[in-house]
Structure 1
Amino acid sequence: MVITGKVALVAGGTSGLGLAVAATLLAAGARVVVTGRSAERGAKALARLGDGASFVAGDISRPADVAAAVARARHDGGPHIAVCCAGATAAGRVVGRAGPLPLTEFERIVRVNLVGTFDLVRSTAAAMAGDGDGQEDPSADEERGVIVCTSSIAAYDGQQGQAAYAASKAGIAGMTLPLARDLARHRVRVVTVAPGLFDTPMLAGLPARARAALAAAAPHPGRLGRPEEFAALVRHIVENPMINGEVVRIDGAARLGSGH
């Protein structure tokens, strides 16, 4: 898809990977609607992004908030591109010192990461399909939309304490191909990116020794990923029509150990 002139919705676009994606798509000529839970972070994101960006406050685990973000993108003439970088993380062993992991905590992570991602996919896909009849047209090469989801290498290499997080991210990876097959008749692509360890605000507060240990997990390059590298992959996915129904790891060949 040619990005110039398109409208992109970036969930979780006020910081980290999502903010880098928003900046990259703006630079490529798109108008961008970013969402996030914090109005303060939203204002800071808009100050950084500048013209062509707008913000809608909302939580991806709330269907009404997702609908409001999609409505804003529709108002702007889209969405043609949707990128889900919103999510939550948590650590907790199945059986810890306080007993079994609370079921509510497992449900919370799955609701935010997996259910929230699916809600964004279904809502943006419906908007992209528009009034089309959904019938296959072999001669029509123009696509109506591209949706990029975010999984994690934890979907494959989950560590101790990551049962809920790994399950939610594995769910995203597992639904990618069925989503792409479902939406092919509407000429909408679905691709998932599974990032490794990236230098985002989530890791910024860690001690230097801990950050160095995480960086060493990647054989080459032996460092944390940069958000702009994630964003560059998202841009390539949007622009390359043959990437569809795939989960792409971006991790410097890192494989997570069992943890401690």
Structure 2
Amino acid sequence: MLDLAGASAVVTGGASGLGEATARRLAAGGATVVVADKNEERGAQVAADIKGIFVATDVTDEAQVQAAVDAAAAAAPLRALVACAGTGYAARTVGRDGTPHPLAPFEFIVKLNLIGTFNAVRIAAAAMAKNDPQNDNERGAIVCTASVAAFDGQIGQAAYGASKAAVAGMTLPIARDLSAVGVRVNTIAPGTMDTALFDMAPQAVKDTLGAAVLFPKRMGVPEEFASLAYELLTNSYMNAEVIRLDGGIRFQPK
């Protein structure tokens, strides 16, 4: 069991949604949490609420991610990273008007969701490798965020599905790499989650999305993601897995 009490953790995308819920869960478990996010106002508020640290962070920027990791390591041994920063985009490969998918947003989504995740993983893991080991020579643990779109990508999700499939695909090789330094890596692939993305959506829209879930017939909530993330971080025998957190949903083409 990885003990996070008295340790530090970094949560990218920690100012809202899945990241915020995870930051709060880690703080409740005794960790000092660095909320790494571009949203300075909301990020600072979350950090204040949980007696953590806010560091303005664009996960695609090496120096900013390094600053977040350094802030965590200065507070306590860095033993946990949860990489939640990311976003979506929808466009068909060839639009209804015959135009091709614009390349710039495809590149942006891959850079944020995939390269941003790897950037955080590599820098955090390098800091964890310097820790004194706990039981089983364990020095830390990492949780990445994919999506069920990695496996069931819908019409218009070429960019998003590709970025998240790559996060899922790099989980095993990174776990193999980091076994040498005593760091575990797992990935959660959420289904439809009731985050800020749906704040303005009518309840009828949420009900429709929930109806497609096998059981329970509702959208997931961030606290359920946070609960699984905490288990993956602390359960020392969980490694190199990609776990769907989706109520059994299987996306249809649209």
2:85 maps to which residue?
86
Unpaired runs of 5+ residues, structure 1, are none
1:63 maps to which residue?
62
Looking at structure 2, the residues matched to 245 and 229 of structure 1 have their Cα atoms a distance apart, in angstroms, of 20
1:251 maps to which residue?
246
> Could you tell me how far 1:140 is from its partner in structure 2?
6.3
Name whichever of 139-148 and 113-122 sits farther off. Answer: 139-148
Name the CA shift for 1:222/1:131 in 2 (closer, same or farther; >3 Å). closer
> Map of 1:35-184 to 2, 5 A cutoff?
35-49=36-50, 51=51, 53-96=52-95, 97=97, 99-130=99-130, 141-184=136-179
Q: 1:185 is matched with which residue: 176, 180, 186?
A: 180
Q: How many residues align?
A: 252
Name whichever of 188-197 and 98-107 sits farther off. Answer: 98-107
Please tell me whether residue 26 in structure 1 is matched to residue 27 in structure 2: yes
Looking at structure 1, the residues matched to 242 and 27 of structure 2 have their Cα atoms a distance apart, in angstroms, of 24
Q: Do the aligned partners of 2:90 and 2:156 also contact (CA within 8 Å) in 1?
A: yes
Q: 2:237 is matched with which residue: 236, 242, 246?
A: 242
Deviation string, structure 1 residues 219-255 (Cα, Å, up to 9, x no partner): 1110011111111111111111111000011100011
> Could you tell me how far 1:91 is from its partner in structure 2?
0.7
> Percent of aligned positions with the same letter in both sequences?
49
Name whichever of 197-206 and 123-132 sits farther off. Answer: 123-132
Letter in 2 for 1:13: G
Unpaired runs of 5+ residues, structure 2, are none
Letter in 2 for 1:119: N
Measured on the aligned residues, the alpha-carbon RMSD in Å equals 1.7
Deviation string, structure 1 residues 90-126 (Cα, Å, up to 9, x no partner): 1111111371111111100000000000011100011
SS in 1 for 2:81: strand
Letter in 1 for 2:45: K
TM-score (norm 1): 0.93
SS in 2 for 1:112: helix
Q: Do the aligned partners of 2:168 and 2:187 also contact (CA within 8 Å) in 1?
A: yes
Letter in 1 for 2:43: G
Q: Which runs of 4+ in 1 moved over 3 A?
A: none
Please tell me whether residue 197 in structure 1 is matched to residue 192 in structure 2: yes
1:10 maps to which residue?
11
